[in-house]
Amino acid sequence: MTRSGTSLPPTIDIETLGFDAGAHLLVKHALATLPEGASLRVTGQAPGWQAQLADWCRAQGHALAWADASQRLAHVTPGTAEAGRWRDAAHTGHADPRAAGAVLPEARAHWGLAARGARVEAGSPDIAFRLDRKDEVWAENAAELYAQAVSAQWDPEVALDWQVAFTHPPEVEAAIRQVMTYMVENENAALLVPARFLGQIHPHYRELQAALAIQVADEARHIEVFTRRIRLGGGEPALSTAGGQASLKSLLDEPDFSVAGFLLSVLGEGTFVNLLQFLAAHAPDPLTRQIAKLAARDEARHVALGMSHLLYRLQQEPAMRGRLAHAVEARHDSLAGTAGLNEEVFDALVLIGAGALTPAAVAAGFAKVQQLMREMADGRFTRLLRLGFERAEAERLSALHTRNFM
Ligand SMILES: [Fe+2]
Ligand SMILES: [Fe+2]
């Protein structure tokens, strides 16, 4: 920009650059540096630049006047945002979640895929997201849990030693394959439940979106390593039961995000953490113990996200507690006709705890599995208390939880 004289407004010469080739960039940036109330003089030589400048000014809400009838010199006075194209732009919160009013109670369909905090032009298309209210999805520590998950990602190739030599008896190896087969099936549910909701959450709630996305990635990794563990040494997956699948299907069928998170994460994955800790302590080989340890760490984050969301929702809507209790009861009733935990899985856990097929070893394994069941029930009870359930109610609901664990 040049100044022809101290009393004259700044002048920009766009030379032979047309508005079909980017001339508006020069004009736009020159306007942005003008002092309040000033105008900009624009001159150029590209064919038809005058009409292009006039069109552009109209679209942007800037006033345009010509110095004389020859139209060799234009005076452009910037319009306010209120007068221009962005006058009806939607305010969509702030990118920084800690800023006041950053995350809004309701997200609008016409904000669509815009970055939170962007100004969205009027007339942008509506994109419908079923979960578009903060109280339905939010968790106060979603951003922290996402960051933790990013730094805690592990590469199965690096974090695990697949060259391990097995020294345990073949019947214990068969028990490991049965438990891993059961766990893959549970992980499939744990991947699909958040994945289905992920596509329904308004991107305004991006911290939640990110936390669920990495949770889905965690589950994909669990499925991979459990499957790989089954196949190590030439094995194939074992048995999948109707009762187990019925229990998991009831999770897939739950349409409410909070209820699904309660059943899956607070009760199911919480129980699963105990199961993984059992395997981390009692599996016969170091590879399986390490797999269980790493997966348990991931699951603990999934439980934390579910807890955080429910604490937030229950704070807004204490009556939700009744709906959660009802969901546990309804699920229990619908599964009453099924066998619950696969007998094969129960026996496999006993055998893993036993380590050998002798009466004394099986007695010890059986006691360890009884202890596991008590720890699972205690864990559920403790989490239910933290969600504000009365002691008796927490105990009752913990006991009604599916015998399939998840
Ligand atoms: Fe998992
Ligand atoms: Fe999980």
Q: Where is pLDDT greater, at 91 or 197? A: 197
What is the average pLDDT across 244-270?
95
Q: pLDDT confidence of 90, banded at 50, 70, 90?
A: confident
The environment of the single-atom ion ligand 2, i.e. residues with CB closer than 5 A, is 190, 269, 299, 302
Which ligand ends up closest to the CA of 304? Answer: 2
Q: What is the pLDDT of residues 307-334, one digit of tens each?
A: 999 999 999 999 999 999 999 999 999 8
Residues whose CB falls within 8 Å of the CB of residue 139, separated by 6 or more in sequence, listed in order:
145, 207, 208, 211, 305, 308, 309, 312
pTM beyond 0.85: yes
What is the average pLDDT across 223-248?
93
What is the average pLDDT across 158-177?
96
Confidence (pLDDT) at 7:
63
What does the block give as tokens for 327? 């969901």
How far, in Å, from the CA of 302 to the mean position of ligand 2?
5
What does the block give as tokens for 316? 């807004």
How far, in Å, from the CA of 265 to the mean position of ligand 2?
7
d(CA 376, CA 86): 56
Rg of the chain, C-alpha, whole Å: 31
Q: What is the pLDDT of residues 35-72, one digit of tens each?
A: 888 899 999 999 999 999 999 998 888 999 999 999 99
Which ligand ends up closest to the CA of 188? Answer: 1
Is the pLDDT at 24 greater than 80? The verdict is: yes
> Torsion angle of alpha carbons 108, 111, 113, 118, nearest 10°?
-130
d(CA 359, CA 70): 107
Average pLDDT, the chain: 93
How far, in Å, from the CA of 33 to the mean position of ligand 1?
54
Is the pLDDT at 87 greater than 90? The verdict is: no
Is the pLDDT at 4 greater than 80? The verdict is: no
| 3-state SS, residue 371 | helix
Find out whether 223 and 187 touch, Cβ atoms under 8 Å: yes
d(CA 59, CA 353): 74
How far, in Å, from the CA of 272 to the mean position of ligand 2?
8
d(CA 203, CA 42): 41
How far, in Å, from the CA of 234 to the mean position of ligand 2?
27
Amino acid of residue 174:
A
Is the pLDDT at 192 greater than 50? The verdict is: yes
Is the pLDDT at 340 greater than 70? The verdict is: no
d(CA 301, CA 208): 13
Q: What is the pLDDT of residues 276-289, one digit of tens each?
A: 999 999 999 999 99
Nearest to 59 by CA among 29, 91, 28, 30: 28
d(CA 92, CA 300): 33
Residues whose CB falls within 8 Å of the CB of residue 312, separated by 6 or more in sequence, listed in order:
135, 138, 139, 140
Is the pLDDT at 93 greater than 80? The verdict is: yes
Nearest to 78 by CA among 131, 22, 121, 35: 35
d(CA 309, CA 324): 13
Cα 149 to the center of its chain, rounded Å: 11
Amino acid of residue 337:
G
Using alpha carbons, list the distances in angstroms from residue 312 to 119, 128, 316, 351.
Answer: 28, 24, 7, 41
Residue whose entry in the numeric block shows the structure tokens 């009802």: 326
Nearest to 304 by CA among 316, 312, 315: 312
Phi, psi of 223 (to 5 degrees): -60, -40
Alpha helices (H) in 205-319, listed in sequence order: 206-231, 242-252, 257-261, 270-282, 286-316
Confidence (pLDDT) at 127:
97
Confidence (pLDDT) at 81:
67
